[in-house]
A and B are shown apart, each in its own frame.
Chain A
């Protein structure tokens, strides 16, 4: 085992020792380390992980949302790295669909667009974000396109109308229903949820 790898393990053991009673799950394998936390601990957790000298998770690499279509519908997955200890950590937060999540903008300024993206695609509201506008969809877009109940084809199409001489939005008309091949599996699908 190299020195760098042992650094990584040390950070994780500190994680268990310091924050262990707040973790719902600590999962580690060859590829990744994932911890499960409560959404009301979110801000405190990231503050500690960023600033405590045992961790120094100084960069928020990614944040994305998963729509699991269950009761506690959304999962937020945060991906942070510590360049000091060469460690990467995934934090998973279960969010009920009516809940508001704390924004991380004061801890990681890079969370700004990521949270806007989650708002844009899933409609999850971030408390104290301050500038929560849509980011990737069209101006004036309605609905949250990455939710599982949003159809792949969408509701509107854009076309050039020669009568009006302008680009217009109309209701989508497809000549054929979307053909969706899904092969269900008898095997266990319980890992992530």
Chain B
């Protein structure tokens, strides 16, 4: 039978994905242009979770603005508090003491493990493996216990403040953390046993969503997506003089292929690196017990209740701090940190009063989602979930 091909007109068709789809990790709406089962073009519609954080912060003083940062990327909370605190400290020109610097590292690394546990296992859930998800959430619960011990809140702790910390570490905190770290690597082993050589997992991830280094850079990718493409770029290492990581050894895994499987392995390895870092940081506190000078600037940190009862200056500081907040000197500053997802940055512009003139938030997920079109091109529609999973999207930070 002969066919007159000229009379056929093959047309690509459009498919709407989301915004309410379990594999979309939130409210992501995609318009996919399909040629059969192959994705030709992806167009992401974001902003369904837009809460106007940047506008709100223009009307809030530092103390009030801080909790908004917990709620941006709601699975890596403290990293964002840190970025904002550093931005404020840079603006003022304040350097935190070594004790607080290392304590911040501890909480950043705890947050990194929390985030990667969620990222890896929800990715596995999208691809079809349910068990790692259940196991990882048990571990996440244990890690949140450390948040709870120091701040009283499991998730949105508002712990890291400009100038230092809200509270001091409770008795026996580091010992408990060490106990946890003894157990935890074997939990990672268990997850690896289930996934690494699992044929379904491997086949659905290997050589899927390859991104080369040049594309990754020009699209503004950072974090695991950039390191997966083979570039060793980690702000913890690059700016280690500023953020205190020069006190510890840091291994940075990089990928060779740049596919989803590489990125999965990097996330796993980063959890192990974080464990080592946490161990080192705990030992740091065991070794140097009393040698810390903890002098706080009471223009940034409120004085303790006991000080308030005895000193008039403290009372004045307390009153001024809680009514006016921190006065930000006129200028521009940038605070950034290697968040689990990539570079998280806060740009603060101040006109010289207690409210910032502009607070811009640089969220890594925004850029990764922008590159989705580049990653997804000429893949099958079934690979969509694997690729969205590997991007580690959280819409709190993308939509802001």
Chain A interface residues (CB < 8 Å from chain B): 2, 4-5, 31-32, 34, 58-62, 64, 66-68, 77, 79, 83, 86, 90, 108-110, 112-113, 121, 134-138, 145-146, 152, 178, 180, 182-185, 187-192
Contacts of B152 in A (CB 8 A): none
Residue from B217, B350, B367 within 8 A of A83 (CB atoms): B217
- Asked if A64 contacts B347 (CB within 8 A), the reply is yes
* Closest CB in chain A relative to B22 CB, distance in Å: 23
| B238: Cβ under 8 A from any A Cβ | yes
Contacts of B222 in A (CB 8 A): 59, 61
- Asked if B349 contacts A192 (CB within 8 A), the reply is yes
Roughly how many angstroms separate A90 CA and B219 CA in the complex, as a whole number? 18
Roughly how many angstroms separate A181 CA and B350 CA in the complex, as a whole number? 16
- Asked if A109 contacts B218 (CB within 8 A), the reply is yes
- Asked if A32 contacts B330 (CB within 8 A), the reply is no
Contacts of A4 in B (CB 8 A): 238
Contacts of B343 in A (CB 8 A): 61
Q: Which chain A residue lies CB-closest to B91?
A: A31
| B170: Cβ under 8 A from any A Cβ | no
| B107: Cβ under 8 A from any A Cβ | no
| B244: Cβ under 8 A from any A Cβ | no
* Closest CB in chain B relative to A154 CB, distance in Å: 8
Residue from B52, B327, B360 within 8 A of A185 (CB atoms): B327
Contacts of B217 in A (CB 8 A): 58-59, 83
Q: List 11 other contacts, CB 8 Å, given A59-B217, A86-B238.
A: A31-B334, A59-B220, A60-B220, A77-B360, A79-B362, A90-B334, A113-B370, A152-B55, A187-B352, A188-B330, A190-B330
- Asked if A79 contacts B324 (CB within 8 A), the reply is no
- Asked if B357 contacts A188 (CB within 8 A), the reply is no
- Asked if B362 contacts A62 (CB within 8 A), the reply is yes
- Asked if A83 contacts B354 (CB within 8 A), the reply is no
- Asked if B59 contacts A79 (CB within 8 A), the reply is no
- Asked if A182 contacts B347 (CB within 8 A), the reply is no
Binary interface encoding of chain B residues 334-370 relative to chain A, with 1 for a CB under 8 A from any of its CBs, else 0: 1000000001010101111111011010100011001
- Asked if A192 contacts B331 (CB within 8 A), the reply is yes
* Closest CB in chain A relative to B320 CB, distance in Å: 10
Roughly how many angstroms separate A128 CA and B52 CA in the complex, as a whole number? 28
- Asked if B327 contacts A112 (CB within 8 A), the reply is no
Contacts of B384 in A (CB 8 A): none
| B233: Cβ under 8 A from any A Cβ | yes
* Closest CB in chain B relative to A90 CB, distance in Å: 7
A61-B345, A83-B231, A180-B59 known; A189 vs B352 contact (CB < 8 Å): yes
| B399: Cβ under 8 A from any A Cβ | yes
* Closest CB in chain B relative to A77 CB, distance in Å: 7
Contacts of B58 in A (CB 8 A): 152
Contacts of A152 in B (CB 8 A): 55-56, 58-59
- Asked if B330 contacts A182 (CB within 8 A), the reply is no
- Asked if A79 contacts B347 (CB within 8 A), the reply is yes
* Closest CB in chain A relative to B369 CB, distance in Å: 8
- Asked if A110 contacts B367 (CB within 8 A), the reply is yes
Roughly how many angstroms separate A118 CA and B345 CA in the complex, as a whole number? 17
- Asked if A59 contacts B330 (CB within 8 A), the reply is no
Contacts of A187 in B (CB 8 A): 329-330, 352
Q: Which chain B residue lies CB-closest to A29?
A: B93
* Closest CB in chain A relative to B331 CB, distance in Å: 5
Q: Which chain B residue lies CB-closest to A57?
A: B217
Q: Which chain A residue lies CB-closest to B48?
A: A138
Contacts of A182 in B (CB 8 A): 353-355
Contacts of B353 in A (CB 8 A): 182-185, 189
Contacts of A62 in B (CB 8 A): 345, 347, 360, 362
Contacts of A32 in B (CB 8 A): 90, 332-334
- Asked if B349 contacts A66 (CB within 8 A), the reply is yes
Residue from A58, A68, A185 within 8 A of B218 (CB atoms): A58
Rank and list the top 3 A-B pairs by shortest CB-CB distance, nearest first.
A110-B220, A189-B352, A136-B47
- Asked if A136 contacts B399 (CB within 8 A), the reply is yes
Interface centre among A112, A137, A184, A191 (most CB of B within 10 A): A191
| B155: Cβ under 8 A from any A Cβ | no
Contacts of B345 in A (CB 8 A): 61-62, 79
Contacts of B399 in A (CB 8 A): 136
* Closest CB in chain A relative to B159 CB, distance in Å: 23
28 A–B contacts from the bound complex (CB under 8 Å): A2-B241, A58-B218, A59-B220, A60-B218, A61-B222, A61-B345, A62-B345, A66-B358, A77-B332, A83-B217, A86-B238, A90-B332, A110-B219, A113-B367, A134-B47, A138-B47, A145-B52, A146-B55, A183-B324, A185-B327, A185-B352, A187-B330, A187-B352, A188-B352, A189-B352, A191-B330, A191-B331, A191-B332
